[in-house]
């Protein structure tokens, strides 16, 4: 990647940006070189993860939030990364290219990127991090990362966000309760969307109650030991002191969105005052470095193995003569001789 294109991206050229995003998402040599060159300009954007169970209206909320940010801070730019669970499998082929949030498409200060075309399983979080770095370097002030569903992928993705918003809605069943319990721990801000629906107050009260039970139960308020031991590195560095607020919104009419924006900026102020902002950045960087080193170590090691040895050992394991651990030991022992 030439300096020219770094310039073009930094100057706000959407076509140049779009091209680099594609290269970075493909994770090819030119994409990696671009990330390298752009890295010096990163570290400013506020990365905001938005997650929650299906049907809770996350897309609408992201849409309303982006609108509100653009109206309130006309100088700021907003990037949206929509991580679609169809991506690892279908390349989005079944649903086709859904046109999302059409009223934002013509706003020059908004860039929407769908990850529906991402093919690599297990690489969603890495790819999301890389894309958000490109937006960061390109001068986008907010990167909204929307993930559908709730599971490991969401956890991996939200650990790279500074602020995680968990969206819920009234009247979901018992199965959803389980999911809520799971994603409560990762929430910096909780939103009851579709608050105009019957049962919204009940859902709101439940969430407040679960927050209190959950954080007391897992010790976050009383010392935070549980959180420290089970959380990922990125989460474990977060100090005590932030109790997630629960908000009610109706994204379609922008009801409550101003309050949500306020909570986001309060969380940002908290992160910066407590040093967590930098700690989160550094944790993500550390993970990236470690992954790159691991990949290189693995490739170098494989080169030292004589042809056929791996397959011979693998055959013994396949015949249950050797356990996988014994096989790993045998292969490593050969190498160190």
Report the chain's terminal Cα–Cα distance, integer Å. 42
Least distance from a copy of itself to the Cβ atom of residue 107, Å? 24
Q: In Å, how far are 196, 281, 305 from 276, measured between CA atoms?
A: 35, 8, 44
Of residues 268, 281, 267, the one with CA closest to residue 43? 281
Helix (H) or strand (E) holding 49: strand 46-51
Pick the closer one to a copy of itself by CB: 222 or 262: 222
Q: Which is nearer to a copy of itself, 71 or 225 (CB)?
A: 225
Report which of 227, 216, 260, 205 is spatially closest to residue 58, judged by C-alpha positions.
260
Q: Which is nearer to a copy of itself, 112 or 150 (CB)?
A: 150
Instruction: List the Cα angle 129/133/139 in 5-degree steps.
Output: 145
What is the smallest separation between the CB atom of 140 and a copy of itself, expressed in angstroms? 17
Judge contact between 134 and 21, C-beta under 8 A. Answer: yes
User: Shortest Cβ distance from residue 148 to a copy of itself (Å)?
Assistant: 6
Residues with Cβ within 8 Å of residue 127, at least 6 apart in sequence: 24, 25, 27, 115, 118, 120
Task: Mention every residue, 6+ apart, whose C-beta is less than 8 A from residue 88.
Answer: 118, 119, 120, 121, 124
Q: Which is nearer to a copy of itself, 261 or 281 (CB)?
A: 281
Q: Indicate the residue among 54 and 199 with the shorter CB distance to a copy of itself.
A: 54
Nearest approach, Cβ of 43 to a copy of itself (angstroms)? 6
DSSP 143-158: EEEEE-B-SHHHHHHH
Tokens of 217: 């139960």
CB of 301 to a copy of itself, least distance (A): 6
Residue 239 or 324: the one with the smaller Cβ distance to a copy of itself is 324
What phi, psi does 78 have (nearest 5°)? Answer: -125, 125
Answer whether 108's CB lies under 8 Å from 75's CB. Answer: no
Nearer to a copy of itself, 147 or 254 (CB): 147
CB 5 to a copy of itself: min, Å: 16
Shortest distance in whole angstroms from residue 329 CB to a copy of itself = 8
Q: Kindly tell me which of 110 and 234 has the beta carbon lying closer to a copy of itself.
A: 234
Distance separating alpha carbons of residues 63 and 57, to the nearest angstrom: 10
Which C-beta is closer to a copy of itself: that of 253 or that of 301? 301
Alpha carbon of residue 238 to chain centroid: 16
CB count in 10 Å sphere of residue 115: 23
What is the nearest approach in angstroms of a copy of itself to the Cβ of residue 133?
A: 10
CB of 89 to a copy of itself, least distance (A): 3
């Amino acid at each position: 990647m030439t300096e020219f294109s770094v310039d073009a991206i930094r100057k706000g050229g959407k076509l140049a940006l779009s091209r680099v995003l594609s290269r970075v998402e493909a994770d090819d040599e030119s994409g990696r070189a671009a990330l390298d060159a752009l890295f010096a300009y990163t570290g400013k954007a506020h990365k905001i993860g938005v997650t929650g169970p299906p049907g809770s209206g996350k897309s609408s909320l992201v849409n309303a939030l982006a609108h509100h940010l653009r109206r309130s801070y006309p100088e700021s730019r907003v990037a949206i990364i929509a991580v679609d669970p169809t991506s690892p499998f279908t390349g989005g082929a079944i649903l086709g290219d859904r046109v999302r949030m059409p009223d934002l498409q013509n706003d020059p200060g908004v860039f929407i990127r769908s990850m529906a075309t991402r093919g690599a399983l297990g690489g969603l979080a890495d790819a999301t991090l890389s894309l958000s770095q490109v937006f960061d370097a390109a001068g986008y002030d907010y990167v909204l990362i929307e993930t559908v569903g709730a599971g490991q992928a969401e956890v991996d993705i939200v650990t790279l966000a500074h602020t995680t918003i968990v969206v819920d809605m009234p009247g979901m069943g018992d199965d959803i309760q389980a999911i809520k319990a799971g994603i409560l721990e990762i929430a910096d801000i909780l939103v009851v969307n579709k608050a105009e629906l019957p049962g919204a107050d009940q859902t709101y009260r439940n969430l407040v109650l679960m927050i209190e039970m959950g954080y007391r139960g897992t010790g976050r308020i009383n010392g935070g030991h549980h959180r420290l031991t089970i959380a990922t590195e990125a989460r474990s560095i977060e100090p005590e002191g932030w109790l997630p607020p629960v908000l009610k919104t109706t994204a379609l009419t922008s009801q409550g969105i101003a309050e949500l924006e306020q909570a986001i900026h309060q969380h940002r102020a908290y992160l910066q005052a407590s040093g967590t902002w930098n700690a989160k950045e550094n944790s993500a960087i550390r993970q990236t470095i470690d992954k790159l080193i691991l990949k290189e170590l693995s490739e170098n090691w494989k080169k030292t193995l004589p042809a056929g040895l791996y397959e011979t050992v693998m055959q013994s394991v396949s015949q249950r003569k050797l356990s996988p651990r014994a096989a790993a030991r045998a292969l490593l022992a050969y190498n160190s001789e």
